[in-house]
Amino acid sequence: MEVISPENLLKSLQWRYATKAFDSEQQIPESIWSSLEDSLILTPSSFGLQPWHFFVITNPEIKAELLPHSWNQAQVTECSHFVVLAAQKNVGDVEISQLMDHTSTLRKVETATLDGYRKMMSGFMAQMNPEELLNWAKLQTYIALGQLMTSASVLGVDACPMEGFVSAEYDRILGLEEKGLSASVACALGYRSTADKYAELPKVRYEKSELISRL
């Protein structure tokens, strides 16, 4: 593996900002987009359960339908790819068995050898009510959001993370209820408009000394 230099990592992270205005003429090329999808898939999750589904929306009609339920934020329609990160609503024994089967196939081990792991996960899930389960799954989607944004910045793709939308309306438009999913957070991706004044603003961050304690 080739290691990126610390300078280049920080350059990418300084370059990224929550893009408010996208250049709607510029689309993310397929080869780059495909890597960003892979970065979503490679996101780690608690127990490896991957309690999510990612909807990649490029269809202008669907974007337009989502816009009024997104505080009318133009990023939704002007971006190249709009991603809705949806959380699974009722992660339980079915999903755990699915993961055990998949692990057994990929790692070539008997499912019986994973029984301890299965019981531990099952016990963890059993102590949560449906609301807590959904909240837990939503937390996992934020890890995917972070990974997506960082990956995008390294590839020179702009992004705007978005919580400013009505989840129930997204669920209705995307038919998530019947899929056992709920919209958690979203991310608009594409290329910044040269007119976006936010690109030039200094980053507002607290001092390192206030946020990090080395013990």
Q: How far is the CB of 192 from ligand FMN (least distance, A)?
A: 11
Residue 160 near ligand FMN by CB under 6 A: yes
Q: Is 18 in the site for ligand FMN (CB under 6 A)?
A: yes
**Sequence-separated (6 or more) residues with CB below 8 Å from residue 138:** 87, 182, 184, 185
Residue least distant from ligand FMN (Cβ):
164
The reply on whether position 177 binds ligand FMN by CB under 6 A is no
Contact assessment for residue 78 and residue 192, using Cβ atoms and an 8 Å cutoff: no
The amino acid occupying position 46 is S
Q: Which helix (H) or strand (E) holds 29?
A: none
User: Between residues 20 and 192, which has the closer beta carbon with respect to ligand FMN?
Assistant: 20
CA distance 87 to 101: 21
- Alpha-carbon span 83 to 185, nearest angstrom: 9
Q: Is 164 in the site for ligand FMN (CB under 6 A)?
A: yes
Written as six digits, the tokens of 203 are 């980053």
Min separation Cβ 165 and ligand FMN, Å: 7
Considering only 107, 108, 197, 203, the residue that binds ligand FMN (CB under 6 A) is 203
Residue carrying the six token digits 């937390």: 139
Residue 162 is a binding residue for ligand FMN (CB under 6 A): yes
Binding site for ligand FMN (CB under 6 A): 17-18, 20, 73, 160-164, 185, 203
